[in-house]
Amino acid sequence: MIDALPAIEIETGTSPTHTIIWLHGLGADGNDFVPLINELELFPEKPIRFIFPHAPERPVSINNGYTMRAWYDIFHPDLNHHQDESGIRDSRKTLDALIVREMQRGVASKHIVLAGFSQGGAMALHAGLRQINPLAGIMALSCYLPLAETLPSETCTANAAIPIFMAHGTQDSVIPLSQAIASREKLLTAHYTPEWHEYPMAHTVCQQEVADISHWLRRIIE
C-alpha cells in the first residue's frame, strides 16, 4: 500500500473530466504553481482538477544534507552523475498511484496531464514515459531526463506517441540549457516527438511560456 501524497487540489468546475498533476521543484511545495491556474485561461466548459502534490521531506546531499521537499536526492552538480535511482523510482510509484486514484475518481487516463518544473519536470518525464495507462500529455519545464539509460527497456507502448511539451531558459544556471537539449535528443532517439521551446530567462517561468503552455493544453485537452 502506497501512502497518498499530500496535495493541493483545485477544481475549475463540478465533476472534473480532466486532471493536471503539476509537480514542483526542489525545495518548493505544491503552492508554487497554483497562481498560474487563472493565467492559463483554459476551457471554462471543461472542468479540470488541478493537483499540486507536496514532495516528501528528505535530506538533500548537494545542499549539505539540509532537509527539504524533494522528489529524490541529488548527489552531484552533474545531474547525470550518480543519480538517486531508488528515490526516483519510489517517487514514480507514488505518482503512478496518484494517476490510478484519478482514474478511480472517474477521470480517464487519456485525460490526465503530468506536468512539472525542474526536479518535478524530471519526474514527469520519468514517470509519464513509463506509465502503463495512456496519458493526455507530459509537460516538462526547465528540467532534464533522469535515468535516460533505462528508458529504452522501460518505455511503455501506451504512451509511445504521447504529446510532450519541453521548455527551457537560455540563461538557466541550475540546469544548463545544454543538458535539456541533450535530454530532448535522447527522446528523439527513442522516437518521441517533444515540442521544444526556448526562452531568454533563467531557472524560472515567463509570460510567453505560460501563453505557450496554455495553447498546448488547449490542443491536447479533448
Which of 72, 86, 69 lies closest to 144, judged by CA? 72
Contact between 143 and 118 (Cβ < 8 Å): yes
Bridge pairing between strands 48-53 and 57-60: unpaired
Contact between 169 and 194 (Cβ < 8 Å): no
Among residues 32, 73, 84, 172, the one annotated as catalytic is: 172
Query: Which residue reads 526516483 in cell numbers?
Result: 88
Task: For residue 161, give the DSSP letter.
Answer: T
For the chain, the first-to-last Cα distance in angstroms comes to 32
Contact between 210 and 115 (Cβ < 8 Å): no
Contact between 20 and 141 (Cβ < 8 Å): no
Say whether 212 sits in a helix, a strand or coil: helix
Among residues 109, 118, 142, 183, the one annotated as catalytic is: 118
Check if 172 is active-site. Answer: yes
Q: 143: alpha, beta or left, given left = phi > 0 and alpha = psi -120 to 50?
A: beta
The DSSP line for 28-70 is --GGGGTTHHHHH---TTS-EEEEEEPPPEEEEGGGTTEEEE-
Q: Which residues belong to the active site?
A: 118, 172, 203
